[in-house]
């Protein structure tokens, strides 16, 4: 963890104050920062869909296996537990949790993860999602690292609220649904690009991000144009 990287998180947080703030891109960069700053192998963010399930909204890599591992946690795994209790969930050695979360542990082990942590995204008394951290090494995170991790989860919540404030939406509920649907549009666009350019999903995502940055558009807006056919990448 370097101070410079930590400082960059603050700079990126200030990005949320601009008009054309791109929430999905922000959350993606945040998960990448989690990997750098917390010294873990992978990170993902899940949000409540407000009808009883958690959905993936960002991940440090767009490798399909990681996305599926995150999505498995619709109702089984550290994230749903963290979401329902509102408290961090730490598993220092996944092999001990096969009875508790059979499918999740099987999928995580297959990728090579040995430990996992889930930190709640909180807004006052409400829990709106969870930050999921994975490591290929077993063991706990240091208390300082957990504290920093929680701060990064809180930064994600702030980003979501900023998106709401900028668009003058009435409620957090509206913003959550928009964020989740934006994510779906991006997945559809990844498919279009993957097929057209013969790329894998991770490469397709990077192409989308680069194009969005170069044309100064939100990831979700560009993605919608790609799926609609009004934009060919």
Partner 1 sequence: MSGDRQVRIWAQVARQSLGEPVSVAHVCAAAVAGVGVDGAGVTMMAGPTVRETVTATDPVATGLEELQLTLGQGPCVDTFAEGGPVLAGDLRSPGYLARWPMFTPAALDLGAGAVFALPLQIGAIQLGVLDLYRVRSGGLSPPELADALSFADTVSMLLLAAAAGTRPDTAKPAWQRDDQSSHDAVVHQATGMILVQLGCAADAAFARLRAYAFADDRRLSDVARDVVERRLRFDPEPSGLSLDEGERA
Establish if 165 lies at the interface with partner 1 (CB under 8 A). no
Q: Which of 31, 55, 60, 61 binds partner 1 (CB under 8 A)?
A: 55
Establish if 155 lies at the interface with partner 1 (CB under 8 A). no
CA-to-CA distance for 75 and 71, rounded, in angstroms?
Answer: 9
Q: Which of 110, 181, 210, 215 binds partner 1 (CB under 8 A)?
A: 181
Establish if 20 lies at the interface with partner 1 (CB under 8 A). no
Q: Where does 94-218 have alpha helices with state H?
A: 102-111, 143-167, 172-197, 201-214
Residues 71-100 interacting with partner 1 (rule: CB under 8 A):
71, 74-75
What is the 3-state composition of the chain as percent helix, strand, coil, each rounded to the nearest 5?
A: 60, 15, 25
Establish if 128 lies at the interface with partner 1 (CB under 8 A). no
- Closest CB 191 distance from partner 1, rounded Å: 2
CA distances from 152 to 6, 44, 69, 94, 137 (A): 10, 12, 21, 24, 21
Establish if 152 lies at the interface with partner 1 (CB under 8 A). no
Pairing of the two strands 126-135 and 115-123: antiparallel
Residues that bind partner 1 (CB under 8 A): 49-53, 55-56, 64, 67-68, 71, 74-75, 167, 169-171, 173-175, 177-178, 181-182, 184-196, 201, 220, 223-224, 227-229
């Amino acid at each position: 963890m370097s101070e410079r990287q930590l400082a960059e998180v603050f700079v990126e947080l200030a990005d949320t104050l601009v008009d054309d703030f791109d929430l999905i891109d922000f959350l993606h960069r945040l998960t990448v920062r989690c990997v750098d700053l917390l010294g873990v192998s992978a990170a993902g963010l899940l949000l409540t869909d407000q009808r009883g399930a958690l959905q993936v909204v960002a991940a440090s890599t767009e490798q399909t296996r990681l996305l599926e591992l995150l999505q498995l946690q619709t109702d089984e795994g550290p994230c749903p537990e963290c979401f329902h209790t509102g408290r961090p969930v730490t598993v220092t050695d996944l092999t001990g949790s096969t009875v508790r979360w059979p499918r999740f542990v099987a999928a995580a082990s297959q990728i090579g993860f040995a430990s996992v942590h889930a930190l709640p995204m909180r807004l006052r008394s409400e829990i709106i999602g969870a930050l999921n951290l994975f490591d290929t090494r077993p063991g706990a995170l240091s208390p300082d690292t957990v504290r920093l991790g929680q701060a990064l989860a809180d930064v994600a919540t702030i980003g979501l609220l900023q998106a709401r404030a900028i668009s003058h939406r009435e409620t957090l509920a509206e913003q959550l649904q928009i964020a989740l649907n934006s994510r779906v549009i991006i997945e559809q666009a990844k498919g279009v690009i993957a097929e057209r350019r013969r790329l894998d999903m991770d490469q397709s995502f990077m192409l989308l991000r680069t194009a969005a940055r170069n044309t100064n558009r939100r990831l979700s807006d560009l993605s919608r144009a790609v799926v609609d056919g009004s934009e060919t990448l």
